[in-house]
Every structure is written in structure tokens, then in C-alpha cells.
């Protein structure tokens, strides 16, 4: 088994389903997934999360893609959101919450959700996962070195209830 297959097999089940379609999720025939699935409305770049079993009503708006929540306007009960430009030539990135603009203090490691997007259609595919989450930082690993520019990680950090 190659490095890519080993990476995918070791990380299956870690990533959330990501559904992409035009229009709001409650009107989409594609918006069926497990609780925690994310949906991107390609008309508005709005990101939604599924919170219940009903595909017709259990979708909650999270934010617009690329929108960064500043600490001044951040409610500690809501997820922190950031977009990170992935540098080329890396297969592993360690990110500190404060470097992303998240100045919250965590008593326990928070839930970190990552989703990769590109500025343009890419001829490359990367599997990725977040891991080694602590109360100060986390890592993202990719299946191979990032070879082109214009790749971003959309990051949500949810404070876990104590």
C-alpha cells in the first residue's frame, strides 16, 4: 500500500461530510447527511451545519466562507472562524490559535474543524486531517506536499462544554 492509501486509511472517519450545491440547504436535493455535515451554498458562499435528522429544516447558518471573526466581536459561545492560506512545499502545518487571531483561553482542547478550498480549479487532490489538538495549537497534515498556490484552510474552532 502506498503512502496516500495509508494516510487515507489511517484518517477515515475524521473528516465531516461537505456538501456543495447552489441555494440554501433546505431546498437542495443534495443536502442529506449526518449531523455535523457542512453545506456550502455556491450562490452566496454561506456555510451551514446540520444539527438534526430533518434535511428540510435542521441546517444552521455558521458564516460566510473567508470571513474572519475578530476577537472584539467574537462571542465565546460561538465558533471562532478563520481562513488560512496554505504555503507551498508543506505536508504538515502547526497552527497556534493566537496566530489565527483567536485570543480565547481554552481549559480543554477545543473541537477543530477544517475544510480545504482552492481559488481556482486544481489538477491536484490532497487528503488532509487535523490532529494533535491541544489547548494552544493544532496540526494539519496533507497526503502530499502542497505544490500550487491558492489553497486555503477554512477553520472553525468550537469551545467544548466543560
Residue 73, classed as helix, strand or coil, is: helix
Would the pLDDT of 73 be above 80? no
The separation between the first and the last C-alpha atoms of the chain, rounded to the nearest angstrom, is 41
Are residue 13 and residue 51 in the same domain, yes or no?
A: yes
Residue 1, classed as helix, strand or coil, is: coil
Would the pLDDT of 69 be above 70? no
Are residue 86 and residue 55 in the same domain, yes or no?
A: no
pLDDT tens for each residue of 136-146? 999 999 999 99
pLDDT at residue 137 in the model: 94
Instruction: Tell me how many domains the chain contains.
Output: 2
Are residue 36 and residue 92 in the same domain, yes or no?
A: no
Would the pLDDT of 38 be above 70? yes
Are residue 21 and residue 98 in the same domain, yes or no?
A: no
pLDDT category of residue 71 using cuts at 50, 70 and 90: very low
Would the pLDDT of 74 be above 70? no
pLDDT at residue 25 in the model: 86
Rounded-to-integer distance, Cα 157 and Cα 46, Å? 17
Are residue 95 and residue 56 in the same domain, yes or no?
A: no
Please state which of the ranges 27-31, 74-78, 108-112 shows the lowest mean pLDDT: 74-78
- Placement of cell 467574537 in the chain: 74
Residue 128: give the domain boundaries: 71-158
pLDDT tens for each residue of 77-135? 678 888 888 999 999 999 999 988 888 888 889 989 898 888 777 788 889 999 999 99
pTM of the model: 0.55
Are residue 76 and residue 34 in the same domain, yes or no?
A: no
Contacts 24+ apart (CB under 8 A), 123-132: 124/148, 126/151, 127/4, 127/7, 127/8, 127/11, 128/15, 128/153, 129/11, 129/14, 129/15, 130/14, 131/14, 132/94
Give whole-number Cα distances, 68 to 16, 29, 73, 102, in Å: 21, 30, 10, 10
What CATH number is associated with residue 140? 2.60.40
Average pLDDT over every residue of 40-45 = 86
Rounded-to-integer distance, Cα 139 and Cα 95, Å? 6
Would the pLDDT of 149 be above 60? yes
Q: Please name every residue paired with 151 in a beta bridge, in sequence order, or none if there are none.
A: 118
Are residue 58 and residue 125 in the same domain, yes or no?
A: no
Would the pLDDT of 59 be above 90? no
Give whole-number Cα distances, 77 to 13, 27, 105, in Å: 26, 28, 12
Q: For 119-133, give one letter per residue: b (16+ CB within 10 A) or e.
A: eeeeeeebbbbbeeb
Where is the domain boundary, 40, 64, 88? 64
pLDDT at residue 144 in the model: 93
Amino acid at each position: 500500500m502506498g503512502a496516500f492509501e495509508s494516510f487515507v486509511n489511517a484518517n477515515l472517519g475524521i473528516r465531516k461530510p461537505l456538501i456543495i450545491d447552489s441555494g440554501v440547504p433546505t431546498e437542495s436535493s443534495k443536502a442529506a447527511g449526518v449531523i455535523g455535515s457542512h453545506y456550502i451554498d455556491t450562490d452566496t458562499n454561506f456555510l451551514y451545519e446540520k444539527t438534526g435528522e430533518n434535511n428540510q429544516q435542521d441546517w444552521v447558518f455558521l458564516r460566510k466562507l473567508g470571513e474572519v471573526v475578530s476577537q472584539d466581536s467574537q462571542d465565546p459561545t460561538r465558533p471562532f472562524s478563520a481562513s488560512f492560506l496554505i504555503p507551498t512545499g508543506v505536508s504538515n502545518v502547526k497552527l497556534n490559535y493566537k496566530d489565527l487571531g483567536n485570543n480565547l483561553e481554552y481549559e480543554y482542547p477545543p473541537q477543530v474543524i477544517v475544510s480545504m478550498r482552492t481559488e481556482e480549479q486544481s489538477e491536484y487532490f490532497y487528503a488532509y486531517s487535523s490532529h494533535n489538538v491541544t489547548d494552544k495549537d493544532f496540526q494539519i497534515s496533507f497526503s502530499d506536499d502542497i505544490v500550487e498556490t491558492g489553497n486555503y484552510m477554512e477553520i472553525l474552532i468550537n469551545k467544548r462544554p466543560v
